[in-house]
Amino acid sequence: RKEVEQDPGPFNVPEGATVAFNCTYSNSASQSFFWYRQDCRKEPKLLMSVYSSGNEDGRFTAQLNRASQYISLLIRDSKLSDSATYLCVVNIYNTDKLIFGTGTRLQVFP
């Protein structure tokens, strides 16, 4: 079983739609969680950290469910520019290791 699992997609949604991605992790010692965004043929960039109480950054909302070991990313009012691959990333307690999921591809169409 992969340490971090994501649905690869693609998720094809119209502009203005709300879309959500989940990511499950297997190591209960995971302590920090992130969403990175990777545009086609570009490097990954941090989108947002995920906090225990959930957090929002504009149209993006991240949630953490430790009991069920998953994190989620909700995008409201999708824009064409949101088209990218979204990587779920987990840091294991007391290590400097980041475990990357394989990513979920989002395609927003007009």
Q: What are the structure tokens assigned to 108, written together?
A: 């927003």
**CA angle, 20 then 84 then 88, to 5°:** 55
Q: How far is the CB of 68 from other proteins (least distance, A)?
A: 21
Tokens 């190591």 map to which residue?
A: 27
List the x/- string, 14-43, binding to other proteins by CB under 8 A. Answer: -----------------xx-x-------xx
Among 24, 101, 105, 108, binds other proteins (CB under 8 A): 101
Among 64, 87, 106, 108, binds other proteins (CB under 8 A): 87
Q: Which is nearer to other proteins, 4 or 108 (CB)?
A: 4
44 binds other proteins (CB under 8 A): yes
52 binds other proteins (CB under 8 A): no
Rounded distance between C-alpha atoms, residue 2 and residue 45, angstroms: 22
| Contact indicator for 48, 60 with CB cutoff of 8 Å | yes
The torsion region of residue 34 among left (phi > 0), alpha (psi -120 to 50) and beta comes to beta
Interaction site with other proteins (CB under 8 A): 4, 8, 31-32, 34, 42-46, 87, 91, 96-98, 100-103
